[in-house]
Amino acid sequence: MATTKVFAPAKINLTLHVTGQREDGYHLLDSYVVFADVGDRVTVAKAEDTSLTITGPMAEGVPADPGNLCWRAADAFGQPVAITLEKHLPMAAGIGGGSSDAAATLKAMEKLYNQPAPFDPITLGADVPVCMVAHAAHMQGIGDWVLPLYQEPLNAVLVNPRIAVSTPEVFRALPRKDNPPMTPWPEGGGFPAVVRWLSEQRNDLQAPAIALQPVIGTVLSALDALQGCALSRMSGSGATCFALFATAQDAQAGAARLAADHPDWWVTACALK
């Protein structure tokens, strides 16, 4: 097989508790992570030299150079490849676009060369290990401890107000680094139990991100106002926020409404699992 294509789904932190900080500055996290059925697409082909071509509706402004995480993943793998990245996710958005692209590049190269990546994916970024799993997982440590889980698909709307957020800046603005971890999640009980449990958990980065970018508060209010919205929260260090709905119809109607009211926002209905 000379070409491999791998889906790079959006990563959503349904919860993100910051429970400590290491001496090297990295934060200890406790996070319930899920993945969307929307995302980027990475195609990898054997080549003489490594190259990166970026296409798709969100290609603008994404660097197609050796600093791109896809390119860095290929360099670390140690084989020259021609990479095509079809970009559908906004950049610096708290939904792991770059990390998911790097993980997809690694998976494509593992398939292409029939060998595992010869290094620890965490060296590419804290979110890359969970993005290798690409479905529901409990993430701890700085992102290096990942326990895959099963999650019944959740109907969601994702919104990004097209403001790039700097992750280090949001972490720096977090007043307390030693917040309580998550409480154990419910076994069974369906959507109502998931929402009840999630409503008792947090994203500790949400308040500092809103302080830096007040529009995130506007996005959350707009999601809360949608008919059938069961819960809204920011993902990662923002600015993307998600809302959960009992039915796909409600999520789709909510997304259509928001897209009409805010044509400048990135809005999509999706399933998370």
Of 1-9, 105-113, 165-173, 203-211, the window that binds ligand C5P (rule: CB under 6 A) is 165-173
| Distance from C-alpha of 44 to C-alpha of 52, rounded to nearest angstrom | 9
Contact 139, 31 (CB under 8 A): yes
Nearest distance in Å: CB 122, ligand C5P: 8
96, 219, 243, 254 from 214: Cα distances, Å: 21, 9, 18, 22
User: Which residues ranging from 88 to 147 are in contact with ligand C5P (CB under 6 A)?
Assistant: 125-127, 142-143
Q: Among residues 11, 87, 204, 250, which one is catalytic? A: 11
The dihedral sign for the CA sequence 18, 269, 73, 146:
positive
**Which lies closer to ligand C5P via its Cβ, residue 94 or residue 254?**
94
Query: Binding ligand C5P by CB under 6 A: which of 19, 167, 179, 218?
Result: 167
Interaction of residue 168 with ligand C5P, rule CB under 6 A:
yes
| 90 has binding-site annotation | yes
Interaction of residue 87 with ligand C5P, rule CB under 6 A:
no
DSSP state of 218: H
Nearest distance in Å: CB 237, ligand C5P: 7
**Which lies closer to ligand C5P via its Cβ, residue 29 or residue 226?**
29
Interaction of residue 85 with ligand C5P, rule CB under 6 A:
no
| Distance from C-alpha of 226 to C-alpha of 257, rounded to nearest angstrom | 8
Q: Which residue has tokens 């926002």?
A: 265
Q: Among residues 30, 40, 127, 204, which one is catalytic? A: 127
Contact 99, 128 (CB under 8 A): yes
Binding mask 40-69 for ligand C5P (x = CB under 6 A): ------------------------------
| Distance from C-alpha of 75 to C-alpha of 63, rounded to nearest angstrom | 16
| Distance from C-alpha of 252 to C-alpha of 103, rounded to nearest angstrom | 29
**Which lies closer to ligand C5P via its Cβ, residue 89 or residue 244?**
89
Contact 77, 112 (CB under 8 A): no
Q: Which residue has tokens 């044509």?
A: 263
Interaction of residue 26 with ligand C5P, rule CB under 6 A:
yes
Contacts with ligand C5P by CB under 6 A lie at: 26-27, 29, 125-127, 142-143, 167-168, 171
Residues within the annotated binding site for ATP?
A: 90-100
Active site residues: 11, 127
